[in-house]
Amino acid sequence: MAALSSVVGSSTVPQIRASWSLKEKDTYYSKRRLNSILSLPPRSSISSPLARLHLNHLSTRTRYPHEVGHGRSVFHRKKENTWKHYTSMLGEPVTEAPFSGQNACFCCNLNRRAARPTLKRSIPWAFRDKSTFHISKRDLGSTSVRLDHVLRATVGPDEPHAASTAWPDGVLEKQDLDISYPEIEQIDLDGFLSSELPSHPKLYRGQLKNGLRYLILPNKVPPNRFEAHMEVHVGSIDEEEDEQGIAHMIEHVAFLGSKKREKLLGTGARSNAYTDFHHTVFHIHSPTSTKDSDGDLLPSVLDALNEIAFHPKFLASRVEKERRAILSELQMMNTIEYRVDCQLLQHLHSENKLSKRFPIGLEEQIKKWDADKIRKFHERWYFPANATLYIVGDINNISKTVNQIETVFGQTGLENEAVSAPSPSAFGAMASFLVPKLSAGLAGSLSNEKSSNSLDQTKIVKKERHAVRPPVKHNWSLPGSSLDVKLPQIFQHELLQNFSINFFCKIPVNKVRTYGDLRNVLMKRIFLSALHFRINTRYKSSNPPFTSIELDHSDSGREGCTVTTLTVTAEPKNWQSAIKVAVQEVRRLKEFGVTKGELTRYMDALLKDSEHLAAMIDNVSSVDNLDFIMESDALSHTVMDQRQGHESLVAVAGTVMLEEVNSVGAKVLEYIADFGKATSPLPAAIVACVPKKVHVDGLGETEFKISPNEITDAMKAGLEEPIEAEPELEVPKELITSSQLQELRLQCRPSFIPLSPETNVTKVHDKETGITQCRLSNGIPINYKISSTEAQGGVMRLIVGGGRAAESSESKGAVVVGVRTLSEGGRVGNFSREQVELFCVNHLINCSLESTEEFICMEFRFTLRDNGMRAAFQLLHMVLEHSVWLDDAFDRARQLYLSYYRSIPKSLERSTAHKLMLAMLGGDERFVEPTPKSLQTLTLQSVKDAVMNQFVGNNMEVSIVGDFSEEEIESCILDYLGTVTATSNSEGACEFSPILFPPSPSDLQFQQVFLKDTDERACAYIAGPAPNRWGFTVDGKDLLKSISDISTADVAQPKSEELHMEGKDVGNDLQKKLRGHPLFFGITMGLLAEVINSRLFTSVRDSLGLTYDVSFELNLFDRLNLGWYVISVTSTPGKVHKAVEACKNVLRGLHSNKITQRELDRAKRTLLMRHEAEIKSNAYWLGLVAHLQASSVPRKDISCIKDLTSLYEAAEIEDVYLAYDQLKVDENSLYSCIGVAGAQAGEEITGEDGSDEGFPGVIPVGRGLSTMTRPTT
């Protein structure tokens, strides 16, 4: 279970998501918006009930065009999802802990960047799998809106009362669902709303005499680890005309040139860096100490950060090395999505430098700078008074930590001449978040704030260099503005497939410091949540003219403003109708407002989620807390902990009135709803991104024409359309009534039966892991684990064996389209899609349904409050027993895959990987997207049969992990799973045609793809066969048998001359255990992947300078007897062939350049530390227990979980070589495909069906990709 989260290393927040959905490609809005009030998922992505409402709180830091860095270990896991399908330990999809990673309270969320809508993949390496090439989670999926912190209209008997520090007598008493709060009327409401929010009680702030600010937060998750981030307040906005990209260059040179940072590599520490408009951040994640030494590692980490930030060596050799890397990075980033984002930023911020200073910089300038030029920029901006140090982690002694900070940084900068600190006015409009001032703190006066030295602060700041910081001035979208209306801007490009348009409104950031500020945010959330739900349910049952409509309202610390964005995407032929519908729905909500039922519903949901987050206060990871605090500092919001946030939220919830919600919300929508009126705010920009040509049936490729006036006319048409008020909707309290349940129990008589014919035991409980295994009388096996680490939260996964591998030659694509059809429909029994969605909203259920090559998987996150677990079980029962298959849902699903397939030729990465995959698997369509020809042969009945034939009792397995009692979980299991109709595996239901690698050698082993583009780029994929996780190969061999027969005496070597015989015996015993263990290949392949990735980076990226990003990935199946490895590399057209050869040399060079003990130890530490960091996550355990009772994965047993740590520790170098020798890396087995894009590309890519017809596809839209560099390593 080691590199569990090697897939996505951070968590997201609770979100209410469509009750079932495919996961979709990260769109800009689903990840960038810090304060994303509402991110309406694309129609194709919101599959079903439930769109996630979101009060913003995010977790993982993703990179955008405004953020660049050095990207190896991080970026290769986040780039276009061509090769990644993250699945659980044993191959099925895994989600992150349902409510894990919550950084803070509702208000705190205001500034979080919206993370991917899906849960983090917590996957142990030994069990990890990334099947590929179907429409992946990030390509088509479920971006829905998250209710990161949901509100509730009542405080029930079990909820804490709303005691606010500003309101000593308490705020609310127990209430019923009626939104009336008579108590509030009896107190001074104005006085309460103007009072300040409480500050985080454990957050300690200080400042050294040289001006360096520091923040310390003790945090126990993960244990014995800490985060140290040095934020220097300089970014691309500070660059002069001839310095564009130099801030990013310094980040690279300083970070990778640090010898002290390199010394930390053997300790288990991880480090990285990134640059954006206003900040450069260097961060180190480290253990508090190592096994080899009891010494505290914090001083060494601080010493490394001090060298990186303030004492770098600008060696000419390092400058040249990073110059090559950055030029490669620049080409790698320059996707069509990146270019779209740059266009949006350029028009949104046309009046200031944000439109002209993307951190990645300009190629012609990057090529010219010498070390002296770079050093001068560093001297100008890198000094302690212009930096903030954040330390969050398992720290027990604050005083000791402060002393360590003073010891390391205290004298830095004081050797230089000191002059007066600049006044705040010198910073211009952005001062409040560029360099947060302690006196103006996040909550006014900070009880834990302290200066480390009482010296006069005016005499200790290094130099008055902040004064030259260029201010950023915005043209605000405020009523009565004298600015002229901007015509819509149009960006047209041959690589675009969809029509998309963004309507921007830009206002100053409203700092959230008082209860009144928090109340305003809450009212906006409720208002916009209603809009999201309406759009995605009102039009879902028909075939709407839009692909997606998203409304986002969020604060951006990087841009220094709050931006409201209405984004509409559609097929080009429908663009006018799509704009009309979007404007019409915005008008309807603005004019009539939310209903009383909507207010009650969303308030209740927000409060429930907020309460859950408060209960999770001790389970928030250090990096999530740190990211949240950093963003809060940038926005000058008050930082509260989760408990304070919930109490504050409950307090303000009692003051919210329907009329005020509608009044506050209407102001957000005025720039659209009142477009053209003299009193309305002017849009900051309207930008349409459109294809140059579109596919028209019967005509082929046709030029796409559009004008600014036509866009304006479409908006006006929506403004003139008649509208009516929204009717109230009846929401079911339960999907199965008590009387219906009683009848089901009488009919089915559910019970637990013996796990095997040989024993009478009906339940097996393992005390060490806490896992219980049982089996229902209808044949469904159950695994559950009681865990209190995520208070009152739970996760559940249904795994159905078969997946796409079960598709026949006559029904290619049937499973994947069938799952999508079920997801698109969203109905169960007699309940409409809208009712099911709202049922999930009310119970805080998040559910997704997806198919992989091996399985169909349905996942639930739920809270145990207010019968949330029973509600989740009811929904699962209804899906299994009463799912509804609809013709229009089937049409949408098929059209979605058709669009996606036709968009492949417009993407360099997808088309290159697609061609390689077809070659390596002999054209087997089960591992790629279904072709138009295959899609046309499908019918509703054929896809229904393909899916439902797999849903039989002994082919299913349900696993549950959560904070429940044995009585509670077994009651739900018997009531709702035990009453599922008993069915046995029908003949051939889950059998599948064999999967074969073509005979070697093949004339398709080396291929190229050419893509016509205005800009040059190149990428390549190298792949070859591997065994599956359990040692089975495609040709029927069982490698585990042959491995276990090898005597350790033949290969074992002493670790050192001093090793005692007793130690040797113990080592040999452990090695024998590993070699005979079912997880031998899962363990050793994980270690091998770490070693190869490290060598690829060192050789291909760092030494040869042939790439910015290279990675090695293993795709190990569980049910299928095969696997494969993939090396992904990006480069330039001139270097890509050399990069491919260099990658092959690394891959094949492990025998000539032997793996060292140091490399193996580092790989072990990496994987085991990830395991330790995730072991408290419910989702991680869900991945561990998967397949324990799956007949198709016979080697998985409880020892695979219990022995995981000891197996990693037992692995020796020769074990890794035994795994390596099973990878086919010879010239006759290896496949490669190089993709080159540019104006001089040799030939255009055509579809696999022989046509070169374009078809509008799904393109992520937003302005995120251009404002931040990628992580540095």
Q: How far apart are the first and last CA of the chain?
A: 24
> What does the alpha-carbon distance between residue 1187 and residue 187 come to, in Å, rounded to a whole number?
58
Q: Quick check: is 251 catalytic? A: yes
Residue written as tokens 């300009």?
Answer: 362
Tokens of 125: 């390496």
> What does the alpha-carbon distance between residue 814 and residue 823 come to, in Å, rounded to a whole number?
14
For residue 863, count other CB atoms closer than 10 A to its CB.
29
Q: How far is CA 493 from the centre of its chain?
A: 28
Residue written as tokens 């001297």?
Answer: 379
Closest by CA position to 588, among listed 543, 548, 549, 541: 549
Query: Which of 67, 80, 92, 322 is an active site residue?
Result: 322
> What does the alpha-carbon distance between residue 589 and residue 601 come to, in Å, rounded to a whole number?
16
Cis peptide before 545 (omega within 30 of 0): no
For residue 720, count other CB atoms closer than 10 A to its CB.
11
SS3 content of the chain, % helix, strand, coil (to 5): 40, 15, 45
Strands 763-766 and 771-776: antiparallel
Q: Is 954 helix (H, G, I), strand (E, B) or coil?
A: helix
For residue 1135, count other CB atoms closer than 10 A to its CB.
20
445 burial class (0-12, 13-18, 19+ CB within 10 angstroms)? exposed
Strands 1006-1012 and 1231-1238: parallel
Q: Are 901 and 695 in contact (CB under 8 A)?
A: no
Kindly provide the residue ranges of all beta strands, DSSP E only, lying in 693-780, ordered along the sequence: 693-696, 700-703, 752-753, 763-766, 771-776
> What does the alpha-carbon distance between residue 785 and residue 958 come to, in Å, rounded to a whole number?
12
Q: How long, in residues, is the chain? A: 1273
- Describe the crossing of helices 515-538 and 658-673 by its angle, rounded to 10 degrees: 60
Handedness of CA 348, 352, 358, 361 (dihedral sign): positive
Residue 701's DSSP bridge partners are: 695
Amino acid found at 280: T
> What does the alpha-carbon distance between residue 1121 and residue 1037 come to, in Å, rounded to a whole number?
9
Helix (H) or strand (E) holding 1087: helix 1080-1096
> What does the alpha-carbon distance between residue 1124 and residue 787 come to, in Å, rounded to a whole number?
35
In sequence order, what are the residues at sequence separation of 6 or more whose Cβ sits closer than 8 angstroms to the Cβ of residue 1063?
A: none
Q: Are 111 and 46 in contact (CB under 8 A)?
A: no
Give the CA angle between residues 701, 703, 704 to the nearest 5°.
115
In sequence order, what are the residues at sequence separation of 6 or more whose Cβ sits closer than 8 angstroms to the Cβ of residue 864?
A: 792, 793, 794, 962, 963, 964, 968
In sequence order, what are the residues at sequence separation of 6 or more whose Cβ sits closer than 8 angstroms to the Cβ of residue 590?
A: 665, 666, 669, 670, 672, 673, 674
> What does the alpha-carbon distance between residue 866 and residue 154 come to, in Å, rounded to a whole number?
12
Amino acid found at 913: A
Q: Are 236 and 64 in contact (CB under 8 A)?
A: no
> What does the alpha-carbon distance between residue 808 and residue 806 come to, in Å, rounded to a whole number?
6
Residue 483's DSSP bridge partners are: none
> What does the alpha-carbon distance between residue 1231 and residue 1003 come to, in Å, rounded to a whole number?
10
Residue written as tokens 């042969």?
Answer: 937
Query: Which of 80, 227, 251, 854 is an active site residue?
Result: 251
Q: Which residues are catalytic?
A: 251, 322
